[in-house]
Amino acid sequence: MPARDINTYWRDGMRQVEGWLAVELLDHLKCIARAQDDVKFVGNVAEIGVYRGKLLIALAHLARGSERCVAIDVFDDQAKNLDGSGAGSLALVCENFKRFAPDDCELVTVQVDTLAMTIDQRVAVSMNHGPFRLFSVDGGHTVQHALNDLLMAQDMLADGGVVLLDDFYHRHWPGVTEAVGLFYSRYVPRIAPFLHAHNKLFFTSYTFHSHFLRYAVEIFKTRPQFKVVRMYGSDVVTAT
């Protein structure tokens, strides 16, 4: 049974799990973990859109003792995967989780089409399993799915929690970038971006934005591609 160790998962396990996750993202995940650990932010970890569990298992390695890992996906109900963004499978996620996630990390699976969730279903996920310290959004990639899932992640975030949005600025999935534009133009968002790398945009609450930005600057300032840019009214570190 694997121990809690993201380095070992990255080196030995990750490449055996199908999915989409840039190997260079390890440092960005560790940056978030350090910024959360130093202030002892607590909460469970979750992902909408898990496919085979490649990133979910990484999040499980960042979860602490009693924190659980919540996998939200249509799984085998693929008729509801409207843009065909990778065919989920409950059995393969459970199998991979057993093989590569820390043995003391509890996996909770929620089979649902997030775009069709009722308010009762959302409240049930939040009350039973939230709030979340790390919440990855990588489900349907249409503008409606991405916007819906980003709003849901924002609502379930713990104090000092971070939302990871996949495929921002990815030319194959323009709906995600369009969704972020709508998020900032049509709503009064409570989260702001602070880090952008390898098509992932990381957000946290306005209250903790300067805290996470400071860690991102400190950790990535010597990288050749480092730059602090303005995005949607906030400073964002971009670093590969």
Ligand X SMILES: C[S@@+](CC[C@H](N)C(=O)[O-])C[C@H]1O[C@@H](n2cnc3c(N)ncnc32)[C@H](O)[C@@H]1O
Alpha helices in 156-208 (DSSP H): 174-186
User: Does residue 199 bind ligand X (CB under 6 A)?
Assistant: no
User: Does residue 73 bind ligand X (CB under 6 A)?
Assistant: yes
Rounded Cα–Cα distance for residues 1 and 188 (Å): 45
- x/- mask, ligand X, residues 109-138, rule CB under 6 A, reads ----xxx----------------------x
- What distance, in Å, lies between the first and last C-alpha atoms of the chain? 32
**Is the CB of 50 or the CB of 143 nearer to ligand X?**
50
Which of 28, 64, 145, 211 binds ligand X (CB under 6 A)? It is: 145
Return the DSSP state at 223: S
User: Does residue 74 bind ligand X (CB under 6 A)?
Assistant: yes
Q: Which stretch binds ligand X (CB under 6 A): 37-45, 108-116, 152-160, 205-213?
A: 108-116
User: Does residue 176 bind ligand X (CB under 6 A)?
Assistant: no
Q: Which stretch binds ligand X (CB under 6 A): 46-54, 61-69, 211-219, 223-231?
A: 46-54
Nearest to 207 by CA among 43, 39, 34, 44: 39
User: Does residue 62 bind ligand X (CB under 6 A)?
Assistant: no
- If you write DSSP's letter for every residue of 47-114 in order, what string do you get? EE--TTTHHHHHHHHHS-TT--EEEEE-TT-GGG-TT------HHHHHHHHHHHS-TTPPEEEEE--G
CB-based contact 164:137 (threshold 8 Å): yes
Total chain residues near ligand X (CB under 6 A): 24
Tokens describing residue 29: 């995940």
Residues contributing to the site for ligand X (CB under 6 A): 19-21, 47-51, 54-55, 73-74, 80-81, 85-86, 88, 113-115, 138-140, 145
